[in-house]
């Protein structure tokens, strides 16, 4: 579907006509979609381009930004090939003592308390000083998972080569030690392909045992940045598009994930990603979001989650839900750590037509001292009608935290689109098309050939696979598939327009604010339909102890600005508390 461009406020319609870029929502439209809009009537308050440039180096120019070079991570010690193996097995010749600058004489034991709230920056300091090694940290996290995950059920499987990879990094510290994620242990959601001995099954027994020979594009970038893939985590099966009755955090493959803070919801579908990070099982994790699946579990488990503008991170090698709303995103305990992981993954990919090439911010990293104007965050009046008393109290505290960070709050924004009801046509149609195409691209005989065979497999293994039914799969099989008829086109166009142009963008422009504030996952659906970014940051806890998240929303490509606001709030409010998980509570 083609949309015609409208004259831009900056008078660059002619340039836009000759410089088309992919729309972040996967719809081919003109360049103005990905460029922050400037209200010429209020240039000082609304010049998002200037604010973004100050915050991240992103420039709204006629000339596309050069794409960052991606240098492949080349280890001196290659992984051995086992007999009849197409994927790597553990190296036997890595020497953990073959370090020069990271000298062994200052080596410290990593205790369990050292892992609590550990940040990437702190880990790097330990590496540079020679006190820790990559192997030590990897083994410490593996030990913690082994001892404590019995209660949470967040981690599906451990990468059997994680320690060997850490040894290789240690052996090549001089050459690779400056990589942005050098030695950083990362856990991955079960729908993200890895070319190793781990399985990628989207939580489904129908894909059990599925191994691949090529990393997802984003996974390759994580490896390039020096990250260690620690393992795979549980998720809501089929990214929460299997059954309306299925609780978040449950999959036939992995069972039920639990919240480290107690008997509270885990949120979905990146439930295991958030639980593992919150429980200090890794330095960060990767989730995926179609509508709320990163920010919702992040809020409920008191961690930071970034759902980027759709198109900033490739979906190649990711088990899909929709063609136009899916995106990967990082989950971490701090905004800076999440931004570091996001930056490592955000590269253009020619294999993903939705990827923005190469128009993206130069840097997502927060912490700029000066911005051209005072930042303003708006609050929709529709939000207050749905908050219970305890959650509303935490949200008010969060707004006070934003003020303490120097951010102005504008209340009572009227957002009629917030209460729109949706008929599910777009997701139903796109899931059928996307999953059938994904399955057709797999080696013959390794997985079900199409959605109908998945449904049949589940019926044949009812006791294991259909604890909560599969009504959503069946509806998509029956009604989905066609992306050409009027019902699909109309539903999609209405959703994109109401969520973006008549929803988020209208509120930003009309009330002269730079971002919108919500709580938990309220507002996530609007951003999902428009393909716009979200950032969730811990906001506090209710009187009964449930974690609550502050959710920040903005227009396309405003990711660095939302990250900057979240970073300033985080530093001012300091709301995250370490969950109390004891050995006595853990299952054997």
Catalytic residue selected from 189, 307, 432, 492? 189
Check: CB of residue 258 under 8 Å from CB of residue 266.
yes
- Cα 391 from Cα 185, distance rounded (Å): 33
247 contacts 256 by C-beta, under 8 angstroms: yes
The distance in angstroms from the start CA to the end CA of the chain is 55
Distance CA 271, CA 265 (A): 9
The Cα–Cα gap between 238 and 318 comes to 11
Question: Is residue 59 annotated as a catalytic residue, yes or no?
Answer: no
**534-541 vs 304-307, strand pairing mode:** antiparallel
Catalytic annotation, pick one of 243, 252, 269, 314? 269
Quote the CA–CA distance of 157 and 161 in Å, as a whole number. Answer: 12
Distance separating alpha carbons of residues 117 and 113, to the nearest angstrom: 9
Full DSSP string of 569-585: HHHHH---------TTT
- DSSP-derived 3-state class of residue 184: coil
Q: Which residues of 43-55 are buried (b: 16+ CB within 10 A; e: fewer)?
A: eebbbbbbbbbbb
The angle subtended at Cα 427 by Cα 424 and Cα 433, nearest 5°, is 140
Are the C-beta atoms of residues 353 and 26 closer than 8 Å to each other? yes
Say whether 293 is catalytic.
yes
CA 424 – CA 417 distance, rounded (Å): 16
Q: Give the torsion through C-alpha atoms of 560, 286, 202, 243, to 10 deg.
A: -60
Task: Return the structure tokens found at 20.
Answer: 């088309």
* 278 tagged catalytic: no
**Rounded-to-10 torsion of CA 252, 254, 259, 264:** 10
**Catalytic-role residue among 271, 293, 302, 558:** 293
The residues annotated with a catalytic role in the active site are 189, 269, 293
């Amino acid at each position: 579907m083609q949309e015609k461009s409208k004259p831009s406020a900056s008078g660059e319609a002619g340039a836009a006509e000759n410089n088309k870029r992919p729309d972040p929502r996967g719809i081919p439209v003109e360049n103005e979609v990905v460029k922050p809009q400037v209200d010429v009537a209020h240039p000082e308050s609304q010049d998002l381009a200037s604010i973004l440039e100050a915050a991240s180096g992103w420039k709204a120019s006629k000339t596309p930004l050069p794409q960052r070079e991606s240098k492949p991570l080349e280890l001196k010690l290659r992984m051995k090939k086992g007999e009849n193996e197409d994927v790597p097995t553990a190296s036997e010749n890595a020497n953990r003592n073959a370090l020069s600058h990271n000298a062994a004489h200052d080596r410290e034991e990593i205790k369990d308390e050292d892992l609590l709230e550990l940040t990437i920056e702190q880990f790097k300091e330990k590496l540079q000083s020679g006190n820790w090694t990559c192997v030590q940290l990897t083994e410490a996290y593996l030990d913690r998972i082994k001892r404590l995950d019995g209660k949470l059920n967040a981690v599906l499987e451990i990468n059997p080569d994680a320690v060997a990879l850490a040894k290789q990094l240690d052996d090549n510290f001089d050459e690779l030690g400056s990589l942005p994620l050098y030695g950083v242990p990362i856990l991955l959601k079960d729908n993200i392909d890895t070319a190793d001995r781990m399985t990628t099954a989207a939580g489904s027994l129908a894909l059990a045992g599925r191994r691949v020979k090529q990393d997802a594009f984003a996974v390759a970038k994580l490896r390039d940045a020096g990250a260690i893939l620690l393992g795979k985590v549980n998720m809501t099966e089929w990214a929460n598009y299997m059954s309306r009755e299925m609780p978040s955090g449950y999959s036939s493959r992995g069972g039920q994930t639990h919240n480290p803070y107690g008997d509270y919801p885990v949120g979905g579908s990146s439930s295991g990603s958030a639980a593992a990070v919150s429980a200090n099982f890794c330095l960060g994790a990767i989730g995926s979001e179609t509508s709320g699946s990163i920010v919702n579990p992040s809020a409920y488990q008191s961690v930071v989650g970034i759902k980027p503008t759709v198109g900033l991170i490739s979906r190649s090698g990711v088990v899909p839900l929709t063609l136009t709303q899916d995106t990967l995103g990082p989950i971490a305990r701090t905004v800076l750590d999440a931004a570091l992981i996001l930056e490592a993954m955000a590269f253009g990919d020619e294999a993903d037509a939705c990827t923005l090439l190469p128009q993206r911010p130069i840097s997502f990293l927060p912490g700029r001292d000066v911005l051209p104007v005072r930042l303003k965050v708006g609050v929709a009046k529709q939000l207050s009608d749905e908050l219970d008393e305890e959650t509303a109290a935490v949200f008010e505290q969060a707004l006070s935290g934003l003020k303490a960070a120097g951010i102005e709050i504008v209340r009572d924004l009227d957002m009629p689109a917030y209460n729109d009801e949706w008929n599910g046509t777009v997701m139903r149609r796109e899931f059928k098309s996307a999953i059938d195409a994904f399955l057709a691209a797999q080696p013959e005989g390794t997985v079900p050939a199409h959605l109908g065979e998945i449904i049949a497999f589940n019926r044949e293994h009812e006791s294991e696979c259909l604890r909560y039914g599969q009504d959503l799969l069946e509806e998509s099989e029956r009604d989905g598939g066609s992306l050409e008829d009027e019902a699909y086109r109309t539903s999609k166009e209405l959703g994109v327009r109401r969520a973006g142009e008549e929803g988020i963008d209208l509120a930003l422009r009309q009330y002269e604010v730079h971002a919108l504030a919500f709580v938990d996952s309220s507002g996530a659906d609007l951003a999902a339909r428009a393909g716009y970014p979200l950032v969730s940051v811990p906001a506090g806890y209710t009187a009964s102890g449930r974690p609550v998240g502050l959710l920040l929303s903005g227009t396309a490509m405003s990711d660095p600005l939302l990250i900057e606001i979240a970073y300033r709030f985080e530093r001012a409010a300091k709301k995250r508390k370490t969950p109390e998980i004891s050995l006595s509570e853990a299952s054997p």
